Amino acid sequence: MSCHLSILKLNFAVLAAALFMATSFGQPSLEATLDSIIYNAIDSSAFPGAQLLVLHKDETIIHKAYGHHTYTQQRPVELQHVYDLASVTKVSSGLPILMKLVDHNLIDLDSPVSKYINDWDKSNKANLSIREMLAHQAGLQPYIVFWAETLKSNGKFKRRTFKDKQSKRFPIAITDNLYMHKKYTSKMWSAIRDTELSAEKKYKYSGLLFLKLPELIEGIINTDYETQLKQSFYSPLKATHLGYNPLSSVPLQDIVPTELDTFFRNTLVHGRVHDEAAAMLNGVSCNAGLFSNAESLAQLFRMYLNGGELNGKRYISEQTIKEFTSYQYPDNDNRRGLGFDKPPLEYIDGESYIAKSASPSSFGHSGFTGTFVWADPEHDLLIIFLSNRVYPDRSQRKLYTMDIRPKLHQSLYDFLIH
């Protein structure tokens, strides 16, 4: 008996040694591969730090923080720290409410948008459908640089637009020393309404509808948009670190800064939304504005990945989840779902931020600040990558040129799926 035990112990020791050799001196482990990609990116100044979370079959495979808030290396990134999600907000804010409204037949995606946005009823957008706009198929202009419209030719702000002190007339805090007039948002809405449309309806990425979505949603539900979002989704999902304007609930030292803005705010953007339009909307829009850590964002996407249900609670019908995460206009060379991004219709290496192996059923979104979330129902796989690649400024593009996100993503398929 003791001889058999000795042989058994010896076999386990040999097996352990073999596994150690395979991961240390031969084929690296998944974690080692992911670590290598991220640390190489940090060493190359693609971003100063990051969070990475990977779930496979609803089991946590990787959940790590890397690097620091900035290149001074004074504040290491920790798992509870929050990042500016940028355009990941598009699929994490108003979109779940819209899906819930669809479930309750309170909104028709194919009706003219002017049915829900009254001041568009006599504009060139009156007959556009919400479906077209969510899928970036409506011919809307990509964006409006609102802050630039507030400047005079000498580079100073126009009169009665901004003040250096907060008051009833200037309540919207852009920075600690810059406050916007309460009525300027009406000029922003007019500018969106009056933008030209493309002559041909084809894929053109636009954030304009997403700026208006909170107003559209409030017109249907007759209650505060942000309150509804928290009560219907974030709170029951226990997404405790997901929300707008984090300075009201998160210590500043736990918020990762974004950019040293030298043209509009003239300060380090830290604790307030990086996107200028969202900042001028008091930090709340469906185009940008959300902050989160990887763990809280994962709670929302676990629900999506599970067909609208999580921990026994149904949030959105499976049918609606499938509709929103499906290709809408593939025959028109448009890869988008409803709000969600999708895999390229034809994958070309170096031209996509996701893995070549991502299934056609997969969906997600990326963000300008260096964020990325992608869910794959076919393989029950979720990746969340958060960084502040715009630090110290947005000219830093190594996140793209080094293909960091697709390399991370493809590694998951190489190790976990194939």
CB contact at 8 A, 92 and 229 = no
Query: Is the torsion defined by CA of 184, 86, 242, 256 positive or negative?
Result: negative
DSSP state string for 61-110: EEEEEEEBSSTT--SB--TT-BEE-GGGGGGTSHHHHHHHHHHTT---TT
Q: Which pLDDT score is estimated for 4?
A: 39
Could you say which DSSP state residue 247 is in?
G
Residue 118 lies in a domain: no
pLDDT in tens, 170-218: 999 999 999 999 999 999 999 999 999 999 999 999 999 999 999 999 9
Residue 7's pLDDT band (cuts 50, 70, 90): very low
CB contact at 8 A, 292 and 51 = no
Dihedrals φ, ψ of 359, to 5°? -75, 160
Residue 137 lies in a domain: no
- Residue 112: asked if its preceding bond is cis (omega within 30°), the reply is no
**Placement of tokens 């709670």 in the chain:** 299
Residue 15 lies in a domain: no
* Whether the predicted pLDDT of 398 surpasses 80: yes
Domain CATH number, residue 355: 3.40.710.10
Domain count, the chain: 1
Could you say which DSSP state residue 283 is in?
T
| Residue 244, SS3 per DSSP | strand
Q: Which pLDDT score is estimated for 15?
A: 36
| Residue 50, SS3 per DSSP | strand
Residue 331 lies in a domain: yes
Distance of alpha carbon 30 from its chain centroid, rounded? 25
Could you say which DSSP state residue 234 is in?
I
* Whether the predicted pLDDT of 1 surpasses 60: no
Residue 22's pLDDT band (cuts 50, 70, 90): very low
* Whether the predicted pLDDT of 374 surpasses 50: yes
Report the range of poorest mean pLDDT among 22-36, 37-51, 233-247.
22-36
Q: Which pLDDT score is estimated for 145?
A: 96
Q: Which pLDDT score is estimated for 159?
A: 85
d(CA 230, CA 296): 13
| Strand duo 49-56 + 381-387: pairing | antiparallel
Other C-beta atoms lying within 10 Å of the C-beta of residue 99: 22
Residue 119's pLDDT band (cuts 50, 70, 90): very high
Give Cα separations from 284 to 183, 275, 277, 379 (angstroms).
16, 10, 10, 34
Residue 277 lies in a domain: yes
Residue 142 lies in a domain: no
* Whether the predicted pLDDT of 101 surpasses 80: yes
d(CA 300, CA 239): 7
Domain that holds residue 359: 30-107+235-417
Residue 20's pLDDT band (cuts 50, 70, 90): very low
Q: What is the pTM of this model?
A: 0.93
Q: Which pLDDT score is estimated for 369?
A: 98
Of the CA atoms within 13 Å of residue 149, those in its CB half-sphere come to: 14
Residue 297 lies in a domain: yes
Residue 310 lies in a domain: yes
Q: Quote the radius of gyration of the chain (alpha carbons, Å).
A: 23
Give Cα separations from 374 to 18, 60, 365 (angstroms).
34, 15, 7
